[in-house]
Amino acid sequence: MKSLSLSYQKSCLVGTAQLAALGDSLAVEIASVRQALGDGYQTQYAFINLLADKSMRVSVKKVVAQVNNPTVTALVVVGIGGSSLGAKALHEALYGVVSNELDIVPKIYFAETVDPDVIARIVAIIEQERAHGGRVLLNLISKSGKTTETIANFEVLLEVFAQTLGPEKLQKSIVVTTDDGSELWSIAEQEQFMCLAIPKHVGGRFSVFSAVGLFPLALCGVDIDALCTGASDMLMRCLQTELFDNPAALRAAILYEHYTCGINIHDTFVFSVDLESVGKWYRQLMGESVGKALNRRGKEVHVGITPTVSVGSTDLHSVGQLYLGGPYDKMTTFVRVEQFESSMVIPTISAYDALVQNIQGRSLASIMEAIFDGVQRAYVNAKRPFVSLHLPEKSPYCVGQLLQMYMLEIVYLAYLLDVDPFDQPQVELYKKETREILSHG
């Protein structure tokens, strides 16, 4: 099977001895994660056991079979943050950012924030699908069941469904993914909606390989077994004690070493438009997991690395000047796809050779490759630190590897920073203030 690879030796600007020392420090945390493997969902590392939960995947496939008869033509995922970013990232990576404009069934839409214009357009899409004889499914995803944006959007869309569907069809058009035993779970059962459980110790940003991500992906035809196999194979690599055999620990060490030297921005620079949402998923993963006011002992520290996302080659023409000429405060991860699906070739039109030479008759992929290599040379010459991830192809197996590596990387980075990667107390601050404002509405 094709494996994700990492290159860093000549570009990360961190010495082998420094990395090895951090590897010694990480050995304790790697051992803790290894020990949690096979412990089910009882520990804070519960997410690593999702891949071995075959009964969960059976439940997901069973619900897919139940709801997809007759065929669903459009799926609306109602969730925010960890409840939607993972599925969105994987769907775009595997089907492309413009898949909804193609003849692919079902089309998928994400109702995330409470932007009234966006939600109104989704309502219009639902009505249009039905007018053309289509069938729309709602997948409500909320771990707690009490996220303001998610429940507000769901109520709006539920009303649209209830106005045109009878009780039996309505029940077959709603799937609720939440904590088993939550208040939302109880309401869903009362309404006789289909339910899928999120294990209690699996946090939203670590839940992509649970029903949160697997149900919408499976409904859209993704091979979730191949996805989980890729993730499982990467998990084994990321549990290796030897740092240089463990891509997640190695990346964590590189990021940490640069952070201690004042480099507190990490840019994920993807050279595939379809991977931009993977970068945004990682942005939440890093931001919520390592940006903390307190360390593990309750001391006020205010640590964190700011994650950004760039798309090659588009953003070379927007922020490339800043990255190569601005302050030395950024560490970059380039993500390269080795094999694109299309082999599209530039036609040979001699009149245009005077404008840009040496591109006639070449494939677009080869142009992208030349740009990627050129950017890396420019970064080396400017002494800008970076590592490169080489994704063999945009397949479920390979993209599954990428997301699994990222999750373990963040766990190891949090250990080095001495913070808890699984909580997000400051996220609750805006929620508290919002509820207070709404109470006086």
Rounded to a whole number of angstroms, the CA Rg of the chain reads: 23
Contact, 156 vs 119, CB < 8 A? yes
Query: In whole angstroms, what separates CA 231 from the centre of its chain?
Result: 13
The residue annotated as part of the active site, out of 299, 317, 432, 440, is: 317
Asked about 431 being catalytic, the answer comes back as yes
Helix (H, G, I), strand (E, B) or coil at 209: coil
Please tell me whether residue 338 adopts helix, strand or coil conformation. Answer: strand
Q: Is 254 helix (H, G, I), strand (E, B) or coil?
A: helix
Residues 38, 407: contact at Cβ < 8 Å? no
- Rounded CA separation 11/13 (Å): 6
Q: Return the SS3 of 411.
A: helix
Which one from 107, 288, 330, 409 is the annotated catalytic residue? Answer: 288
Whole-angstrom Cα distance, residue 205 to residue 291? 14
Which structure tokens are listed for 12?
A: 């990360």
Q: Compute the Cα dihedral for 111, 113, 118, 120 and give only its sign.
A: positive
Give the residue ranges of DSSP H helices in 299-439. 320-325, 364-381, 396-417, 427-439
Rounded CA separation 256/311 (Å): 24
Tokens representing residue 185 in the block: 């779970």
CB atoms < 10 A from the CB of 371, how many? 14
Compute how many other C-beta atoms are within 10 angstroms of the C-beta atom of residue 426. Answer: 11
**Interatomic CA distance for residues 86 and 142, integer angstroms:** 13
Asked, as a colleague might, if the bond just before 173 is cis with ω within 30 of 0, I would say: no
Q: Is 172 annotated in the active site?
A: no
**DSSP state letter for 264:** -
Catalytic residue among 54, 62, 169, 431: 431
Tell which residue, 330, 320, 322, has the closest CA to residue 372: 320
143 flagged as catalytic = no
Q: Measured between alpha carbons, how far is 268 from 387 in angstroms, rounded to an integer?
A: 10
Q: Residue 151: exposed, middle, or buried by beta-carbon count in 10 A (0-12, 13-18, 19+)?
A: middle
Residue 193 phi/psi, 5° resolution?
Answer: -80, 155
Positions marked catalytic: 288, 317, 431
